[in-house]
Amino acid sequence: MNSKQWKTDWDLSTLYTSINDPQIETDIKNLERASASFVKKYTKDKKYLEDAGALLKLLRDEIALGELPGATKPLRYLTLMKHAGRSTPDIDKKINLFSERLKKMSNESLAISLALGKISPTLQKKLLADPRLDEFKYHLELFFQQAKYQLSEAEEKIITLKSGPASSMWTSGVEKAISKKTVLFEGKEIPIPEAAAKLSELPYKKRHALYEQILTQEMTLADYAEGEMNAIITNKKINDALRGFKNPYDTAFMGDEVRAQDILPFVQLVTENFPIAHRFYKLKKQILKLDKMKYVDRNVKIGGIKQKFTFEDSAKLLMGALEKVDPEFATLFEDFLKNGQIDVFPKKGKIGGAYSWSGTNVPTVVLLNHVDTFDSLTTLAHEMGHAIHSYLSHKHQSPQYRGYSTAVAETASTFFENFIFETILPTLSPQEQVIALHDKIDGSIATVFRQIAAFNFELELHNKIRSEGYAEHEEIAGLMSKHLKSYLGKAVELEEQDGYVFVLWSHFRHFFYVYSYAYGELISDALYARYKQDPTSITDILEIFKAGSSLPPHKIFKKAGIDTTKTDFFMLGLKKIEADIIELERLTKLKK
């Protein structure tokens, strides 16, 4: 493995040469022509409304339309250029104009979709039972379920057209404002995401001083974020009311292909077990010997692991871990490195956080903000878990099932994090192993308990704005503090300004999916435990990742012998976190 061949910035030249590449416009126009032809054909010929063979032809033509370059490449390219900090003054204009053209095409084909959604339940059953449509059966089941909430053609067009100014433009504006904010650290201006990533590694005084700067920058955006949150939540309220959705989370759960009857008890179970997190923070306060433990101290390290995880170190460690699971995964990772599919380091103008993004006929890419910490290493493993999941799904599923539900998405990513932990642990000294155990628990607390507290905050905020009409940023921050306290417990003292973390917490702009982090963590822990006991179980585990969206999540997990419809299963994962805390108490000779 030759690291000199790696590229640490995205190589987007495989998409287009620049944002002014004429091929962008060519691809868009080709898509527009094909879309117009599709609409003309199926507006005239409506046999698909009663004949399974004709419907099969329509569905295959629709798939072919979505696989044209113009359907994915232009918007993907422009968005990635922006996220990587390579924006130009007119990039937002280009993104918005192309988005409008996509919406126009969607609106032009809307009548076809609405007509199919309005066929009688009797005919729906007949079509679903027809063997000619077997390859699209689950796809159609989901479509018919969602079709119950369709509006008239005119109303659907209005909802599509207003989605930009009522939602996505607001969110994009806040993201852009955050990306431009910097703070002073050791005589150098650094982006807020990079500063936030450093907090857990810094000594007390430096940590608190840097955090105060971050808070100050958050506060400068409070009014803007207040307007944004109220606008996008009110827009959702209007859409939900028009469609007949009762609860704020209904559309998210339907999109994730999960059932409220499964997820809400899961959320309640984790909430009832917040005392597990309280126990951890009480222990952490004792370990750190703090008279007062503040919010910024919640994920500070209890000691230093001498080894710094440069990106080259991280990549080589992950490569070795992947090789043990399946050599194909190691080869895939090396291709990512050589092909410029991972944008590694933070830079001014680049968005914060990390993600993996895949799609039809475009390369999967990974965004990182690597700062040579253990967290950076685990983030790399997490995002490559997503990338491997996408790879397996695309390899084994037809186009209509290559995506996967958010409820399944976090399982693979967390599963591969476990491999990295197991890889590193034996290389550490006994003292460093204690630190690593602490860090692992710290991550689990954040993923499970913090994200469920975030779900509870999100639900209360939506209900508040729905019932009262508006929430001032002081009220939003107050709600945020309330729910942070619920999982942190008495050991952690929160200041009024801590609640303004909502300004930077991007998940709340993509409604009600934070539960999936906790869901995926507890499921993946169970899968990993099975793998450790029986390495041959990897065959069943990989079947989950190969399944894409070909089944509902609870049925996909059933393939690996996991019943996610019962909270008893998740209690096993919660008890495992508690057992790790007890072990940390023993190793540090501190008691509950």
Q: What is the pLDDT of residues 283-314, one digit of tens each?
A: 999 999 999 999 999 989 888 777 789 999 99
pTM, two decimal places:
0.81
Which helix or strand (DSSP H or E) is residue 364 part of?
Answer: strand 362-367
Beta carbons within 10 angstroms of residue 63's beta carbon: 15
Q: Is the pLDDT of residue 399 over 60?
A: yes
- 429: pLDDT confidence band, cut at 50, 70 and 90? confident
Q: Enter the tokens of residue 66.
A: 């979505």
Q: What is the mean pLDDT of residues 332-347?
A: 96
Q: What is the mean pLDDT of residues 267-290?
A: 96
Q: Which of 125-129, 203-207, 300-304 has the highest mean pLDDT?
A: 125-129
Q: Enter the tokens of residue 100.
A: 């409008």
Q: Is the pLDDT of residue 88 over 90?
A: no
Q: Is the pLDDT of residue 592 over 60?
A: no
Q: CA angle, 590 as apex, 588 and 591 as ends, to 5°?
A: 140
* 197-202-206-209 Cα dihedral, nearest 10 degrees: 30
- 157: pLDDT confidence band, cut at 50, 70 and 90? confident
Contacts of 182 (CB under 8 A, 6+ apart): 189, 190, 191, 192, 348
CATH of 19-150, one of 1.20.140.70, 1.10.10.10, 1.20.120.160, 3.40.50.2000: 1.20.140.70
Q: Is the pLDDT of residue 591 over 60?
A: no
Which helix or strand (DSSP H or E) is residue 383 part of?
Answer: helix 374-396
Which of 245-254, 303-312, 455-464 is predicted least confidently? 303-312
Q: What is the pLDDT of residue 1?
A: 65
Q: Is the pLDDT of residue 223 over 90?
A: yes
Q: What is the pLDDT of residue 590?
A: 63
- 81: pLDDT confidence band, cut at 50, 70 and 90? very high
Q: What is the mean pLDDT of residues 192-219?
A: 90
Segments making up each domain of the chain, as ranges:
19-150
434-454 pLDDT per residue, tens:
998 998 999 899 999 999 999
Which helix or strand (DSSP H or E) is residue 485 part of?
Answer: helix 473-488
Which of 134-143, 317-326, 527-536 is predicted least confidently? 527-536
- Buried/exposed code over 144-169 (b: 16+ C-beta within 10 A; e: otherwise): beebebbeeeeebbebbeebbebbeb
Q: What is the pLDDT of residue 462?
A: 97
Strands 492-493 and 293-294: parallel
